[in-house]
Amino acid sequence: MFTTGFKLWFGIFVAAFGAASFAGYTSGGDQTGPISVAWKGAVGNHISYGLLVTAAGVALGLALFAVAFRDGDAEAAAELLETDDAPPAQRPVGGSWWPVFAALGVGATAVGAVVHPVVFVVGICALVSIAVEWTMTNWSEKLSGDPAHNAAQREKLMRPVEIPVLGTLGIGVLVLATSRVLLASSVNGAVVVATVVAVVVLGGAAFVSRNPSLPRGMVQGALLVGFVAVIVAGIVTAATGEREFHLKGSDANATDTQSGDGH
């Protein structure tokens, strides 16, 4: 019987290989090249086809590992070891926001590849940061059976890196996204947007400082919603483009110069 992990990775394999075949056929491949992995025929664009086939191969390998080890099931391991006592199972872990952030990063990268290079770079930076954070979270959750100890070890290792690096990246992303919104707005609209953002930030900070007993999850949720809203607004306005800028007095100065040269 197929395990849940096998179904997940095999589904990714099918999607990746289907995308590779589609890329091969639409970029100049012949009838048999894309589906035979270039064994018989051409595959079109080698770079896109090769990347997608590589992703498909990795997913297929993980699917085979998952079904071979039965997703790490304790009873299956006990049966394989021919023992009546099942080995200790891993402690159930809590929910994580990293898959949501990773999906946003992938979306920003895909949109940026079509819309604007800046958005693409922001998406890549976000994916790198999320990959590191997600990896360290998974590492800390397997240290021991004590969640408090695991969290403390993760904080001890990552806080000196997270605060300066992620703080700098977060501020840069927010400034960049806000600048896209201001550049796409009209003259008066940019003033209104800047004023509203400043009032919201100042009011939110004052409210949190006057209510230190607020639940941490509530504050984190509000910051997450605001951060995502600003990024989405920046991506949308970057797609629409900047407004036209007209330099006042340029035509008049050009006319005066021409008149002076004629005399």
Q: Which of 68, 89, 110 is the last residue of a domain?
A: 89
108 shares its domain with 179: yes
Distance of CA 243 to the CA centre of its chain: 28
229 part of a folded domain: yes
- Kindly state the DSSP code that residue 107 receives in the 8-state scheme: H
Distance CA 43, CA 25 (A): 7
Half-sphere exposure of 104 (CA within 13 A, CB side): 19
Q: Which of 63, 89, 115 is the last residue of a domain?
A: 89
- Kindly state the DSSP code that residue 29 receives in the 8-state scheme: -
48 shares its domain with 143: no
155 shares its domain with 142: yes
70 shares its domain with 99: no
263 part of a folded domain: no
Per-residue pLDDT of the chain (263 residues; tens, 9 = 90+): 778 888 888 999 999 898 888 888 888 888 888 888 888 888 888 888 888 888 899 989 888 888 877 766 666 666 666 666 665 555 666 677 788 888 878 887 887 777 777 777 777 878 888 888 888 888 887 777 777 888 888 888 888 887 888 778 778 878 888 888 888 888 888 888 889 888 988 998 898 888 888 887 788 788 878 888 888 888 788 777 777 766 665 555 544 444 445 44
* Cβ atoms within 10 Å, residue 228: 13
Please report the pLDDT score of residue 248 as a whole number. 62
Question: 137 and 154 in contact (C-beta within 8 Å)?
Answer: yes
Please report the pLDDT score of residue 256 as a whole number. 47
Spell out the residues 6+ positions from residue 58 whose beta carbon is closer than 8 angstroms to its own: none
75 part of a folded domain: yes
Supply the range of the domain harboring residue 77.
1-89
68 shares its domain with 198: no
Please report the pLDDT score of residue 14 as a whole number. 92
78 shares its domain with 110: no
233 shares its domain with 113: yes
Number of domains in the chain: 2
